[in-house]
Amino acid sequence: MQQENNDKSSFFQDVWDVAKLIPEGRVTSYGAIGAYLGRKGSARMVGWAMNASHGDDSVPAHRVVNRKGLLTGKHHFDEKNPMQVQLEAEGIVVKDNQIQDMKNIYWDPSIELEL
């Protein structure tokens, strides 16, 4: 069980390290981070890592959305500074809880970080 917790915390740290590289005004998906880390199919676990990062302002969890650009993690954000507000402050347009122009602002770590 201890090894499993170490693997989980190591994976979470790897997720946070990738999230910290997402440029302001860009977004990526949970699945893209998982795939970049060699864990294709781990989108849900990436979501858990993003949720666990709240309280650490160095991790821009608001820049990680689902593959369709939906703000699926929005309920984990402080109501005083919700996910949509943070994204809009970076110039990202959000309508009905969905990123607009996703194609042009999408940041794929496997491409951008040239894996």
Containing structural domain, residue 50: 2-110
pLDDT band at 2 (very low <50, low <70, confident <90, very high): very low
Q: What is the dihedral of CA 81, 9, 67, 75, to 10 degrees?
A: -30
CA nearest 42: which of 69, 64, 75? 64
Has residue 102 been placed in a domain?
Answer: yes
Q: What is the CATH number of the domain that holds 58?
A: 1.10.10.10
Domains in the chain, number: 1
pLDDT above 70 covers a percentage of the chain that reads 90
Has residue 88 been placed in a domain?
Answer: yes
State the Cα–Cα distance between residues 105 and 24, nearest whole angstrom.
10
User: Does residue 54 surpass a pLDDT of 90?
Assistant: no
pLDDT band at 56 (very low <50, low <70, confident <90, very high): confident
Has residue 115 been placed in a domain?
Answer: no
Has residue 100 been placed in a domain?
Answer: yes
Has residue 44 been placed in a domain?
Answer: yes
Residue 5 has a pLDDT of 53
Has residue 71 been placed in a domain?
Answer: yes
